[in-house]
Structure 1
């Protein structure tokens, strides 16, 4: 599923180029994935469970593909450790093993894609 998602992201980036807001990239990728018949949710809330308390504190996954792959979208000069930490946090909270951290603000999108795997889950 990650490869299909990356293919859609490449199509979006090829058509629109770098420089768009993250929200625009998210909407375009969401549209493209839906068009291809892929089950995708946007801005999916993530609960934080601490002891026996479920806390809704504003965590949201940009896109969740087929209820398996987290997509975290950025449009920044360069990806930072904090972006990776955010993706890993969402993966841990949701029990997901695969995430894609995609920075649309690059000349070649393949340079802005980071596959994140958490084998501890």
Structure 2
């Protein structure tokens, strides 16, 4: 893959924020607690984002509903949070589907629920030029 395909510098910075949150809080809280803490940490790190951004989903160019992404960072990276014991294939598939539905190139799936923070960098291979 081409260098920078995941917007490496920014995803690295977001993951660093998530690691600070996980180090401070550990696991065992509901997802919203981690969202609140990550919002504070990203603000402290001067990362611009929209939290709970409502984004439309289309089928054949017709809007069929909306979904809220946990964080939409610097108008380019979708960040989905989980607070579960393990990331499952269904979580990964869901996050990739959101990337494709929103036509966003880069995403992060971050799980705060385990003993260690886990994350996946995601890339939309079906990105459409607008």
> TM-score, normalization: structure 1?
0.90
1:29 corresponds to: 38
1:60 corresponds to: 68
The answer to whether residue 26 in structure 2 is matched with residue 20 in structure 1 is: no
2:58 corresponds to: 49
1:73 corresponds to: 81
CA distance in 1, matches of 2:61, 2:12: 37
- The ranges of structure 1 where at least 4 consecutive aligned residues each deviate by more than 3 angstroms after the TM superposition are none
Q: Tell me if structure 2 keeps the 8 A contact 1:65–1:71.
A: yes
Structure 2: 5+ residue stretches without partners: 1-9
The RMSD of aligned alpha carbons is 1.3
Quote how far apart the aligned CAs of 1:94 are: 1.6
Count of residues in correspondence between the two structures: 118
CA distance in 2, matches of 1:15, 1:44: 26
Q: Tell me if structure 2 keeps the 8 A contact 1:46–1:93.
A: no
Structure 1: 5+ residue stretches without partners: none
CA offsets, 1:42-85, max 9 Å, x none? 11112112234323x34110111111111110011111111112
1:89 corresponds to: 97
1:11 corresponds to: 20
